[in-house]
Chains A and B, each alone.
Chain A
Amino acid sequence: MVLKIALTGNHAISYAVKLAKPEVIAAYPITPQTTIVEKLAEMIESGELKSRMIRVESEHSALAACFGAAVAGARAFTATSSQGLLYMHEFVHWVSRARAPLVMAIVSRTINTPWNIWPDHSDFVDQRDAGWVMAYAMDNQEAFDLTLQAFKIGEDPRVYLPVMLGIEGFILGHTTMPVEIPDEDLVDQWLGERRQPYVIDGSEPLGLGGLTFPEDTEDMFYAIQEAQESAKKVVREVDEEYGRIFGRSYGGLISCYWCSDAKYIAMAMGAWSGDLIEAVEKLRGEGYPVGVLRVRFYRPFPIEDIWSVVRGVKGIIVFDRAISFGAWGPIYTDLAAGLSLYTSNLPYMANIVAGIAGVNVTSDDFYGIVKSFIDSIEEGRLTRNYFAWVKVRR
């Protein structure tokens, strides 16, 4: 039976986890993630969910315990934010290099110091080199759908990697929206039994992660790069299949709005894409030929999908809610590097870093920035690409 209920982003993730039925959940409290695990604890204690919960003493141990559970044959889940994610960073690498599929929700919050609990993407993008499949949702329904899909994608034999799914803390995490919960039997049938490349459960003597010489180690890492490559196909398949069964498809690795005839593309990831879409809708109404490309998967970076959309456009403006200090926004960096593999004739490009540390960026802000980018090109005023950290201080 399909249910439609009002859920916060965090609880939407809890409900998706409940349907995925992980045998083991391990987590440590950190704002703004906590309500995901609180809800799961309630479900376990009321008997609705049969998972074992390990209430660990740190985030490092949270992911360590999930890693142990995953290699021993269990479906495992954890969730964290910000400092907690940084504290488990050692294990973020360990899990993917061991090819242990598991799912982790990141409820984004900026990185401290100073103490600041508001969201940006800095905690999430900081994990980009670890080998995880990394997805980011725009609304609570998508957070729900991506969480379920994360189990399916990570446990696909063509992938066998852990999957991380992000939402902005508070903006989605603590905001209520209607979320459709699919039928349990249908989900069971679609998701199937736990799959993983090996199981260490004592049934035969196996070793994992012993001292390995450079050539063998490089082979293993090369295989992760290959798995990332095949993950692109798997993500598209899963998105399509999910749409067929449950009625919602998002376009695979990216989502596009008014892109087919667009001469300009505005790019973003996460909840603020909603404000960008609103701004671009207004610009469309004024006759601007602009579309929105929303990055749903940050790793594998969907450069082929992006190229098929931006090929031939006059300008691309990329909004990053994170900064690599001393360089640029991380999505822009990947886009510029990726496009350079396809063309030597790059369109005009601009990178806007904004919304850092939870600063609110409204659809009016997006409207002004995108409009002035397009106007400056159309009027021949823009002679070079640019990067700007746009601070919205009122």
Chain B
Amino acid sequence: MATSLERRRLPLPHDAREGVLPGDAACPGCPIPMALKVISAVFGEKAILVIPACCTSVIVGTYPGQSIKASIVHVPFASAAAVASGISQALKARGVSDVHVIAWAGDGGTADIGMASLSGAAERNEDFIYIMYDNEAYMNTGIQRSSATPKGAWTTTTPTGKVENKKDVARILIAHGVPYVATASVGYPHDLYSKLQRARNTRGFRFIHIHAPCPPGWRFDPQYTVRVAKLAVETGLWILYEYVDGKLVISGPSRPFQDPSRRKPIEEYLKYQGRFKGVTSDVLSEVRKYVDENWKWVLKMATP
């Protein structure tokens, strides 16, 4: 029955699109406006986005306009978490309590150059939401490798494929003991929506890691952004979970894939993406091992 299906899904409010205006500078199939629409559905105008150098710096448009109906403070690469700390503290000092401060940074601005300020803000338990949208390389500057690029992926600075595994930033944030950590994906907007709602209703430092497939950077057809995002989850490569009050809970979309036999083969995910064209069978088996290890850790953390 259609109604039960609808009931199972959290509704996105009708003004979801209003906060993110059409005509931005994103590439076709870009996951960023997709995620920003969900953010705007949750926070509306009452948000201050702190954006370091990243694709979004360009996507939101040129002065004096911008494509987002919320406040934006553009900041230097390494500083999103520190500027957000300052804004959040100033708003508290001034008694402004209905506005949410959201640092919105890419994987380079988070896992690489922004790591120190991120770790500092998390350790101080600053009261804001940090969102890392992860397109797994420096896309804005022309697809250079970041520490969040997965093993085997071609980038312009790893022409024969990245040798190292992806840096697991969510796990690093869990180690900081912050009140809320979640992983999400643009392929599952309802899951992202509910996670943003939970973040909105939590105080202190909140971290959400959004997997964001990038058509030009990952070399796939722009029509497949959602499919690629879903395949990352369905193959078990990307695991959706929430970490609240010291407990890890696997999120709905990832729950079936606790059982390895239900996971789709990794090749299904890789075959859509030109960046994995050169992946050898040796690398593939290492990737499989990485997925297994990841799941082992998640399941251990999820065990009461």
Q: Is A216 an interface residue (CB 8 A)?
A: yes
A23 close to B93 (CB less than 8 A): yes
What's the least CB distance linking B140 to chain A, in Å? 11
What's the least CB distance linking A354 to chain B, in Å? 36
CB-CB contacts of B239-269 with A at 8 A, as 1s and 0s? 0000000000000000000000000000000
- State which of A24, A211, A216 has its C-beta within 8 Å of the C-beta of B90: A24
What's the least CB distance linking A79 to chain B, in Å? 16
A60 close to B117 (CB less than 8 A): yes
A24 close to B93 (CB less than 8 A): yes
B116 close to A68 (CB less than 8 A): no
- Chain A residues within an 8 Å CB radius of B87: 68-69, 71-72, 200
CA distance A55 to B94 in the complex (A): 19
The interface stretch among A162-170, A202-210, A274-282 is A202-210
Q: Is A65 an interface residue (CB 8 A)?
A: yes
- Chain B residues within an 8 Å CB radius of A58: 116-117, 120
- Chain B residues within an 8 Å CB radius of A67: 75, 83, 86
- Chain B residues within an 8 Å CB radius of A76: 86, 90
Q: Is B45 an interface residue (CB 8 A)?
A: yes
- State which of A24, A57, A203 has its C-beta within 8 Å of the C-beta of B120: A57
- Which residue of B has the minimal Cβ distance to A71? B73
CB-CB contacts of B151-193 with A at 8 A, as 1s and 0s? 0000000000000000000000000000000000000000000
* Given A65-B86, A68-B50, A210-B72: A205 touches B45 (CB 8 Å cut-off): yes
Q: Is A201 an interface residue (CB 8 A)?
A: yes
- Chain B residues within an 8 Å CB radius of A74: 89-90, 93-94
Q: Is B78 an interface residue (CB 8 A)?
A: yes
- Which residue of B has the minimal Cβ distance to A50? B93
- Which residue of B has the minimal Cβ distance to A61? B82
B72 close to A207 (CB less than 8 A): yes
The B-contacting residues of A in range 22-80, CB under 8 angstroms, are: 23-24, 26, 51-52, 54-58, 60-62, 64-74, 76
Most buried by A among B63, B99, B123, B126: B63
B86 close to A68 (CB less than 8 A): yes
Q: Is A213 an interface residue (CB 8 A)?
A: yes
The interface stretch among B54-62, B130-138, B223-231 is B54-62
B94 close to A23 (CB less than 8 A): yes
- Chain A residues within an 8 Å CB radius of B75: 64, 67-68, 94, 209
- Which residue of A has the minimal Cβ distance to B119? A57
Q: Is A90 an interface residue (CB 8 A)?
A: yes
Q: Is B76 an interface residue (CB 8 A)?
A: yes
- Chain A residues within an 8 Å CB radius of B271: none
A65 close to B82 (CB less than 8 A): yes
Q: Is B70 an interface residue (CB 8 A)?
A: yes
CA distance A209 to B61 in the complex (A): 11
Q: Is B282 an interface residue (CB 8 A)?
A: no
CB-CB contacts of B114-129 with A at 8 A, as 1s and 0s? 0011011001101000
Q: Is A189 an interface residue (CB 8 A)?
A: no
What's the least CB distance linking A203 to chain B, in Å? 8
Q: Is A212 an interface residue (CB 8 A)?
A: yes
What's the least CB distance linking B65 to chain A, in Å? 8
B83 close to A211 (CB less than 8 A): no
Q: Is A15 an interface residue (CB 8 A)?
A: no
CB-CB contacts of B34-75 with A at 8 A, as 1s and 0s? 000000000001111010000001101111101011111111
Q: Is B299 an interface residue (CB 8 A)?
A: no
A211 close to B93 (CB less than 8 A): no
A91 close to B76 (CB less than 8 A): yes
A216 close to B71 (CB less than 8 A): no
A72 close to B86 (CB less than 8 A): yes
Q: Is B79 an interface residue (CB 8 A)?
A: yes
- Which residue of B has the minimal Cβ distance to A55? B124
Identify whether the interface residues of B are mostly helix, strand, loop, or mixed. mixed
The A-contacting residues of B in range 95-109, CB under 8 angstroms, are: 96, 98-100
What's the least CB distance linking B175 to chain A, in Å? 16
Most buried by B among A56, A62, A76, A205: A205
- Chain A residues within an 8 Å CB radius of B291: none
Q: Is B149 an interface residue (CB 8 A)?
A: no
- State which of A51, A56, A202, A213 has its C-beta within 8 Å of the C-beta of B46: A202
What's the least CB distance linking A92 to chain B, in Å? 11
A57 close to B117 (CB less than 8 A): yes
CA distance A125 to B93 in the complex (A): 33
- State which of B68, B79, B81, B126 has its C-beta within 8 Å of the C-beta of A91: B79
Q: Is B92 an interface residue (CB 8 A)?
A: yes
Most buried by B among A57, A66, A204, A216: A57
- Chain A residues within an 8 Å CB radius of B123: 57
CB-CB contacts of A80-92 with B at 8 A, as 1s and 0s? 0000000000110
* Given A55-B124, A209-B74, A210-B74: A61 touches B91 (CB 8 Å cut-off): no
B124 close to A200 (CB less than 8 A): no
Most buried by B among A90, A94, A210, A212: A210
What's the least CB distance linking A233 to chain B, in Å? 30
B57 close to A61 (CB less than 8 A): no
What's the least CB distance linking B72 to chain A, in Å? 5
Q: Is B199 an interface residue (CB 8 A)?
A: no
The B-contacting residues of A in range 348-384, CB under 8 angstroms, are: none
- State which of A24, A52, A64, A216 has its C-beta within 8 Å of the C-beta of B117: A64
- State which of B69, B71, B72, B89 has its C-beta within 8 Å of the C-beta of A69: B89
B82 close to A202 (CB less than 8 A): no
10 closest pairs, A vs B, by CB? A68-B86, A202-B99, A57-B120, A61-B82, A64-B82, A209-B74, A65-B86, A74-B90, A72-B90, A23-B93
Query: 25 interchain pairs (CB within 8 A)?
Result: A26-B85, A52-B93, A54-B124, A55-B124, A56-B82, A57-B120, A57-B123, A61-B116, A65-B86, A67-B83, A68-B85, A69-B89, A76-B86, A76-B90, A94-B75, A200-B71, A201-B48, A202-B47, A205-B45, A207-B60, A209-B73, A209-B74, A210-B62, A210-B72, A213-B62
Interface residues of B (CB under 8 A from A): 45-48, 50, 57-58, 60-64, 66, 68-76, 78-79, 81-94, 96, 98-100, 116-117, 119-120, 123-124, 126
Given contacts A60-B79, A66-B86, A210-B62, 15 further A-B contacts (CB under 8 A): A24-B90, A52-B89, A54-B85, A54-B89, A56-B85, A65-B86, A68-B85, A68-B89, A69-B89, A72-B94, A90-B76, A94-B76, A202-B91, A207-B66, A210-B66
